[in-house]
Amino acid sequence: MIIFLTFSSEQEQDKFEYLFHQYKKLLLHHTYGILKDYALAEDAVSEAYIRVYKNLHKIDRPDSPRTVAFLVTIARNISLTMLAQEKKHLTEVLFEEQSDGFDLEETILTRVSTARVQELLHQMREELRGVFILKYTYDLSHREIADTLGISENNVTVRLHRAKKTLAAALKKEGFENG
Amino acid sequence: MDKKEEFLRRAANEYVELQGEALRQEADRLNREAVYPTAGLERRVFNAVRPRKRRWLASLAAVAACLALVFLGGRTLFGDGGSAPSPTAQTPDDTGIIALSFQVPTGFTQTGMEQDQGKSIYYFDDRLGDNVVLTLEKPTTLIDASSFTELNINDADAYAASKEGYQIMTFEKDEVLYTLTCRYDVNTLLRFGEVIL
């Protein structure tokens, strides 16, 4: 597919060029780590940049930690999707559960340390964490997350639900242990 | 926003800040050390997104033109062991212009030239967006090489550095000091070095 996109301003172009030149090696490094194939890694990074382009309005400061995490989250998740497609393990799960997955007593939230929450997020499966981060850090809608990661909106909902459920389960345990 | 949503948002943001900082440091390290062939990737990405004309070219030119003055003193780049004057050394014409003596690398187009206080400044557009400014001058000052990485290109010495907001490479050939700058990738400058040296 040939896509031609044009920048709407020089500022946008500057921003995009900075992101490309500053982080291209980082993204190649991460995608190669997942895909173990340089050509596929290049595919993933190229796709990631095109999707980043479509979300340029979400990026205020190209050199901020938030921005680099945004890029890496997108590139790594695209790689994971490609890997799953390669292995034909990608299955569409229908979302039927009604609760939001994060069914916690609010009192537990105040008892859990920030460091522990970070640790739990770090341990979370990357496919789940990626969606979680795009939703809660960058305020992307389910539709936007789906477009950015190249997955269905339903898949976004499922992953988000699972992410919150995983976090809630771990936090509940922490709460009981600490309580 | 309810407390649970607020908690999730805060957790995600704190995680991203922490991871992002580590990733930024990793990016800096990879930019310094890693050698990945990225030309193909650049072509693909910048074929999909069409660049507009850049406004920062002029400031890059100013950087290039001033560099020899900025790095005065310290270790001499082109002292003992530097490239010897060649019998075919480039000489300025009546107007003081030092002409180009190499073929512009593929993917670059010369877009301008100006003369400023004995310096001939050439501008090159890069198809991939990393435009280059080349300054040619007679080497009358010493340059501090302490903050440069020494390179060997076609058996000649060259010196490159990654500075805040731009990349720089400098070398001497045929009694002319070449100073190249671009915005993003020192590999862009190396492509010029390879055709000049």
Q: What domains does chain A contain, in order, with CATH numbers?
A: 8-90 (1.10.1740.10), 97-179 (1.10.10.10)
Can you tell me the ipTM of this complex? 0.78
Over residues A10-25, mean pLDDT: 88
Residues B157 and A153: their CA atoms lie apart, in Å, by 56
Residues A145 and B144: their CA atoms lie apart, in Å, by 50
At residue B57, does pLDDT exceed 70? no
Structure tokens at B61: 């030119």
The pLDDT score that the predictor gives to residue B55 is 42
Identity of the residue in B24, B44, B183 whose CB atom sits nearest the CB atom of A65: B24
Q: Which tens digit of pLDDT belongs to each residue from A161-177?
A: 988 888 888 877 766 45
On whether the CB atoms of residues B169 and B157 are closer than 8 A, the answer is no
Instruction: Please give the residue that has the higher pLDDT: either B40 or B80.
Output: B40
Burial of residue A162 (CB within 10 Å: 0-12, 13-18, 19+) is buried
Distance from CA of A136 to the nearest CA of B (A): 5
State which residue of chain B sits closest to A72, comparing Cα positions.
B23
Q: How far is CA B113 from the centre of its chain?
A: 17
Q: Does any CB of chain A come closer than 8 Å to the CB of residue B54? A: yes
- B contacts of A161 (beta carbons < 8 Å): none
The pLDDT score that the predictor gives to residue A170 is 83
Residues B128 and A51: their CA atoms lie apart, in Å, by 18
Identity of the residue in B20, B51, B129 whose CB atom sits nearest the CB atom of A69: B20
State which residue of chain B sits closest to A165, comparing Cα positions.
B8
State which residue of chain A sits closest to B129, comparing Cα positions.
A17
Residues B8 and B4: their CA atoms lie apart, in Å, by 6
Q: Which tens digit of pLDDT belongs to each residue from A110-145?
A: 667 777 888 888 899 999 999 999 999 988 999 899
- B contacts of A136 (beta carbons < 8 Å): 8-9, 11-13
Q: SS3 of B97, please?
A: coil
Distance from CA of A143 to the nearest CA of B (A): 19
The pLDDT score that the predictor gives to residue B83 is 37
Confidence of residue B81 (pLDDT cuts 50, 70, 90): very low
At residue A4, does pLDDT exceed 50? no
β-sheet with B176-182: strand ranges across: B108-116, B119-126, B132-137, B176-182, B166-173, B156-163, B149-153
At residue A90, does pLDDT exceed 50? no
The pLDDT score that the predictor gives to residue A23 is 94
Question: B 55-74 residues with CB below 8 A of A?
Answer: 55-56
